[in-house]
């Protein structure tokens, strides 16, 4: 049993003793277990964070930055162990998890540097005797509710700027993947004062909802499905909380008429299948010109069939399993709906032979799809590549925007006129041209429409955890001519 971490102490059981088993998705074996935190446990974590905030908020930016840099340095020393544990509990290929750990290090260092820059700005005063300026201040306790697909990356995108801004945090990791976060508390974040960082394990309907509803949590930062984001909005709105929601996606990928089909096929496969398609920005809709459809789908099928499925710890593995059986079943239901409506499966669509244990699913290429199908409307979150044809680039842009979501979009082209039209007209928080799903520490990440209201990374990511105070200071204490009496 791995304990929770509250107020600098390891807590080995929940208030009522409930336990969650953590299962390796590649083998279906239990790796370890954690407490299923209750509302009482959530309250203890929040009270610890609230108490720590009284001192942490006044810790200088330079001290906070030093602690964050120290944490980054420690993570380098534990790099291999963290990447391996992440692979065991989450399932994706070890190379992808090594990249995730690199991102945790880089994010800590980025915000450690950024927080040193400024605390506000000086404004032009209305009259000579006045001094006007703004201050950026932390909110207090931030609840960071994190999904299973990138347990450390999506945690640090919230926690690093929150800490840098002077907030304290309670992390609620996914009940599928809590172990790597707890490991960080043991060997990476151990220099932080007690209560500044807390980890509350548990299921969303217990621990998560208790955090969202808690009166002493002014900010909730969440990454996950739109349905759960809607639930968090309903609860949080009762206290007008600051909700930082990064939600679902249904990202399109357009192959322009000038694109090379071979390289386009490789780009699409990467964008759709990384982490077995369990990425909020995964390509889930592909649009290809009618005249390139045959060549493109042929190249795509050949490339997809060359990929190796297997346990993430094997260095030859390209794609690991899905995180849990119900996630695989959801993907299969999307495939079955598409088949029933006339789609054709060119490859995949079933569990692979030779991998009897683990929640694997062959990468699946679908054609003859349209927007009436679930696989083109709802987030699939699995290794499917539905390919639809278009006649004109105008039609391709319309198809991209015909969605409730607007997280990101990809284009493969070298035509500057098409590229400008694409990033001007497509509704998405990130537009990738020729290099899909690449992030930048300084570039804000987030979506339009039902993909949420958050921006993570960049200066915008820091601003999300700061509120603005305007100070109006008049050096003169004389009576003003605009005071009473008006006569």
**Residue 457 sits in a domain of what CATH number?**
3.40.605.10
In a domain? residue 419: yes
Query: How many Å apart are CA 49 and CA 6, to the nearest integer?
Result: 9
pLDDT for the residue numbered 387: 98
Of residues 100, 209, 246, 456, which has the active-site annotation? 246
**DSSP state, residue 352:** P
- Enclosing domain of residue 141: 4-247+452-471
- Annotated catalytic residue 209: no
Query: How many Å apart are CA 303 and CA 262, to the nearest integer?
Result: 9
Q: If you average pLDDT over residues 289-304, what whole number do you get? A: 98
In a domain? residue 480: no
pLDDT tens by residue, 137-165: 999 999 999 999 999 999 999 999 999 99
Question: What is the domain-level CATH number for residue 307?
Answer: 3.40.309.10
Strand, coil or helix: 76: helix
Q: How confident is the model at residue 371 (pLDDT cuts 50, 70, 90)?
A: very high
Give yes or no for residue 220 having a pLDDT over 90. yes
- Annotated catalytic residue 246: yes
pLDDT for the residue numbered 271: 98
Give yes or no for residue 62 having a pLDDT over 90. yes
484: Cβ–Cβ under 8 A, 6 or more apart, which residues? none
Query: How many Å apart are CA 365 and CA 301, to the nearest integer?
Result: 7
Query: How many Å apart are CA 212 and CA 108, to the nearest integer?
Result: 25
Query: How many Å apart are CA 343 and CA 335, to the nearest integer?
Result: 9
Query: How many Å apart are CA 428 and CA 252, to the nearest integer?
Result: 10
Residues 143 and 267 reside in one and the same domain = no
Residues 172 and 259 reside in one and the same domain = no
In a domain? residue 336: yes
Asked if 187 and 78 touch (Cβ cutoff 8 Å), the reply is yes
**DSSP state, residue 308:** P
Residues 378 and 420 reside in one and the same domain = yes
Residues 207 and 221 reside in one and the same domain = yes
Q: Are strands 364-367 and 384-390 parallel, antiparallel or unpaired?
A: parallel
**DSSP state, residue 290:** G
- Overall domain count for the chain: 2
Q: Interhelix angle for 79-90 vs 179-187, to 10°?
A: 160
Instruction: Look over the chain and give the mean of its residue pLDDT values, rounded to a whole number.
Output: 97
Residues 300 and 179 reside in one and the same domain = no
Buried b / exposed e over 176-201, threshold 16 CB at 10 Å, is bbbbbbbbbbeebbeebeebbbbbbb
Output the pTM of the full model: 0.97
Of residues 90, 96, 209, 280, which has the active-site annotation? 280
Residues 240 and 320 reside in one and the same domain = no
């Amino acid at each position: 049993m791995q304990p929770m971490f509250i107020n600098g102490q390891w807590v080995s059981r929940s208030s009522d003793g409930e336990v969650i088993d953590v299962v390796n998705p590649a083998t279906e074996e239990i790796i370890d277990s954690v407490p299923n935190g209750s509302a009482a446990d959530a309250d203890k974590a929040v009270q610890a964070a609230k108490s720590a905030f009284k001192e942490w908020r006044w810790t200088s930016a330079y001290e906070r930055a030093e602690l964050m840099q120290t944490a980054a340095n420690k993570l380098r020393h534990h790099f291999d162990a963290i990447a391996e544990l992440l692979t065991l509990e989450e399932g994706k290929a070890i190379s992808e998890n090594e990249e995730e750990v690199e991102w945790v290090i880089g994010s800590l260092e980025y915000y450690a540097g950024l927080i040193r820059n400024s605390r506000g700005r000086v404004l032009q005063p209305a009259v000579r005797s006045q001094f006007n300026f703004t201050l950026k201040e932390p909110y207090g306790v931030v609840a960071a509710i994190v999904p299973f697909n990138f347990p450390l990356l999506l945690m640090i995108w919230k926690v690093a700027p929150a800490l840098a801004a002077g907030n304290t945090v309670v992390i609620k990791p996914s009940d599928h993947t809590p172990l790597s976060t707890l490991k960080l508390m043991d060997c990476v974040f151990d220099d932080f004062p007690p209560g500044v960082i807390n980890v509350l394990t548990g299921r969303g309907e217990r621990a998560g909802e208790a955090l969202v509803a808690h009166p002493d949590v002014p900010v909730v930062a969440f990454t996950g499905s739109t349905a759960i984001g809607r639930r968090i909005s309903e609860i949080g709105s009762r206290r007008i909380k600051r909700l930082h929601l990064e939600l679902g996606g249904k990202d399109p990928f357009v192959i322009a008429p000038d694109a090379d089909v071979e390289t386009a096929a490789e780009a699409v496969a990467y964008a759709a299948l990384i982490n077995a398609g369990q990425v909020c920005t995964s390509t889930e809709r592909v649009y290809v010109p009618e005249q390139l459809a045959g060549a493109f789908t042929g190249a795509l099928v050949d490339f997809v069939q060359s990929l190796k499925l297997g346990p993430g710890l094997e260095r030859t593995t390209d794609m690991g399993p899905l995180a849990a059986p119900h996630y695989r079943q959801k993907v299969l239901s999307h495939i079955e709906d598409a088949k029933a409506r006339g789609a054709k499966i060119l490859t995949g669509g079933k569990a692979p032979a030779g991998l009897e244990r683990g929640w694997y699913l062959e990468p699946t290429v679908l054609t003859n799809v349209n927007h009436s199908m679930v696989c083109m409307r709802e987030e699939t979150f699995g290794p499917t590549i539905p390919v639809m044809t278009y006649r004109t680039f105008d039609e391709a842009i319309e198809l991209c925007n015909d969605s409730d979501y607007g997280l990101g979009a990809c284009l493969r082209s070298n035509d500057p006129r098409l590229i400008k039209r694409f990033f001007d007209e497509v509704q998405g928080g990130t537009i990738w041209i020729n290099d899909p799903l690449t992030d930048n520490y300084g570039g804000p990440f987030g979506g339009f429409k039902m993909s949420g209201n958050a921006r993570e990374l960049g200066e915008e990511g820091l601003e999300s955890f700061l509120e603005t105070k305007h100070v109006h200071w008049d050096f003169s204490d004389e009576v003003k001519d605009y005071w009473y009496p008006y006569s």
